[in-house]
Amino acid sequence: MENAFSHIAIVTKESHDQARELGDRIGRWLAERGVGVQILSNDQNGQGLCLEEPGPDLILVLGGDGTVLSVARKLDRGPDVPLLGLNLGQIGFLTELSPQGWQDGLAKVLVGEYSLFPKVILQHAVERDGEPIAQGRVVNDLVVGRSGLARLIGLRIWCGEEELGRLRADGMIVSTPIGSTAYAVAAGGALIGPDLRAMELCPVNPFMSRFRPLILASDNTVTIEVDHESRDVLLTLDGQSGSRLQGGDRVVIREAERPLRFLQPSGSNYIRKLRKKGYLG
């Protein structure tokens, strides 16, 4: 029987002995079943993945959610390849396989017992004096927040041409559905089903403000402007990289043109995962 995937790239967490050793084991297991394999380490600070030609038709990521996020952002201008995660971290909400049961999960995948789910991700552009100075995309969330001293920052928020409000707060989170289980829920936001086309705006410790967490359709454009008097403001992407913002800067956020595709072996269930990870009673 022909395998559902002919070439799988295994991307291991950088400088992680368990990930490297397990990657080698899985690579041998796949090769014995006639699957072409490339094994490479994720360079956390790199801009892309050095994938062989012809490219893989599946990327298996060995690490925690942070490694999955890092790899996912590197597919921005690369091939449209689905991701499958194997959890070697703490939470592992973006992963489907475990170090103990990976053989059964991969066996299902190879015979076609899986589903592919496109997930909404966001792209952003930073504008200064009306000119774009930076851009990129995020899988979980982006945060406009204070970078150090315990002082509030002033923000002004729009949805399209409609002003949503002004607030002083520690910051504002703009989250994807899959990112709603991360910083947003810790800040009081809602959990959003990962199959919805939505984004969530969640203020962080707003002061004397009625701005509540807000879920919008992801085809909206959200703009966050930093007050001219605010200092030490940081734009953080997926909790992994950041850049300084100045007073008057605008961050324009919209749904990315290309969704991110995650592979889910048969039997995986979002509600059961929420319960297992402690998000539900």
d(C-alpha 53, C-alpha 38), whole Å: 10
Contacts 24+ apart (CB under 8 A), 127-130: 127/249, 127/250, 127/251, 127/252, 128/246, 128/248, 128/249, 128/250, 129/248
Catalytic residue among 43, 57, 65, 104: 65
Question: Residues with Cβ < 8 Å from 212, sequence gap 6 or more?
Answer: none
Residues 6+ apart with CB under 8 A from 270: 193, 194
Question: Is 24 known to be catalytic?
Answer: no
Any idea which residues carry the catalytic annotation?
Answer: 65
